[in-house]
Amino acid sequence: DFTEMMRALGYPRLISMENFHAPNFMLVSEVLLWLVKRYEPQTDIPPDVETEQDRVFFIKAVAQFMATKAHIKLNTKKLYQADGYAVKELLKVTSVLYGAMNTKGVERANVSEEDSSKFKFDLGSKIADLKAARQLASEITSKGASLYDLLGKEVELREARTESIARPLEINEAEKMMKIAIDCVLEQVQKTKDMLNNVALDEANLEAKIEKRKLELERSQKRLQTLQSVRPAFMDEYEKIEEQLQKQYSSYLEKFRNLTYMEQLLDDHRRTEQEMFEEAANMLRLMQNRLKEEEQHLLKSGNNDDSDVEIQEDEGSDSEVEDRQIVKQRTATERLLQG
């Protein structure tokens, strides 16, 4: 884990755990100095570790820096050993830096998402922000005006304030005010206690009412069950009357159906009679018109025949002509009647 963390943090050299099987103070000091520079690049820690005193000073300086800046407590003895125990101490610092690097990556991703979301234009939110800004601007102007007025009164109020501060405190008045305040508090406490007592009484009354309602509900349910189980005395008569009513209703339906059918037949018969009567009247009117036309035609033809006979033969009398006309009219009417 230590080697992977160092590789992830960007340490330039390759490290393996075999390097720490034997004491290797040069490598430990190099790693410590690199971690300190990684944590704070402007740190000034002397890198000299040639003598024993320099090594002790170097270990103490690194431990003090980590304790004050990173709040990491390092064991100086284990670091001075420069073996596997020193790796455990180095792992404390590398784990902090590795975790910080991971959190920075997540924060950058979140920041990028926030930046991308900034470009999304929401008109509703902008309108709400505009209204809020206008309201804040009006409040700022009103507060500024009131503050300006109060600052203008500061000269007068300063004198009154200094006088009130310079005036000696009267113990009797303070004691009186304290007693009044204590009495008010005690009165409020008593009111609160009374309200609590009233709440307890109300609760007891409500519980009693609830129990009473429960008993009434149980009695009503029992009464309902008894009424449902008992058959009324008039039920037999009711069922008989219901059967008779059903029969009467069925007969009524049948008669009503027959009546409507007969009324429909009567209407159809009247309609056919009316149509036949109208047709006969039309036929009679046509026959009358035809007879009139034929009579007129016969009269015209009779007049023409009489004139021809008088011109050709000059025989006969007026009575014979009239008789002929009458005979022709009769024959014409007989033909029409036969037709």
Average pLDDT score, the chain = 80
Q: Which long-range contacts does 65-69 make (Cβ < 8 Å, 24+ apart)?
A: 65/36, 65/40, 66/36, 66/39, 66/93, 69/39, 69/40
The mean-pLDDT minimum among 35-44, 235-244, 274-283, 324-333 falls in 324-333
Taking only the tens place, the pLDDT of each residue in 216-266 is 999 999 998 888 887 777 888 888 999 999 999 999 999 999 999 999 999
Number of domains present in the structure of the chain: 2
Residue 117: its pLDDT value, please? Answer: 47
Domain of residue 59, residue span: 2-115
38 falls within a domain: yes
Residue 180 tokens, joined: 């009044």
| In the block, residue with structure tokens 């009358």 | 288
SS3 call for 70: helix
Taking only the tens place, the pLDDT of each residue in 39-86 is 888 888 878 888 888 888 888 888 888 888 878 888 888 888 888 888
Residue 274 pLDDT class (50, 70, 90 cuts): very high
Residue 335 pLDDT class (50, 70, 90 cuts): low
In the chain, which residue ranges form alpha helices assigned H by DSSP?
2-9, 25-39, 52-65, 76-81, 84-118, 123-152, 154-166, 171-229, 235-312, 318-338
Residue 211 tokens, joined: 């129990």
* Domain edge (last residue) among 65, 100, 115: 115
**Distances in whole angstroms, Cα of residue 258 to Cα of each of 45, 53, 254, 255, 295:** 123, 133, 6, 5, 55
- Enumerate residues 6+ apart whose C-beta is below 8 A from 33: 45, 47, 62
Residue 258: its pLDDT value, please? Answer: 94
49 falls within a domain: yes
83 falls within a domain: yes
The mean-pLDDT minimum among 161-165, 185-189, 286-290 falls in 161-165
Q: How far apart are CA 279 and CA 269, in angstroms?
A: 15
327 falls within a domain: yes
288 falls within a domain: no
Residue 314: its pLDDT value, please? Answer: 47
149 falls within a domain: no
Residue 144 dihedral angles phi and psi, to the nearest 5°: -65, -40
| In the block, residue with structure tokens 């101490």 | 89
94 falls within a domain: yes
Q: Which amino acid is at 183?
A: D
Residue 337: its pLDDT value, please? Answer: 45
61 falls within a domain: yes
* Domain edge (last residue) among 82, 115, 148: 115
* Domain edge (last residue) among 87, 115, 143: 115
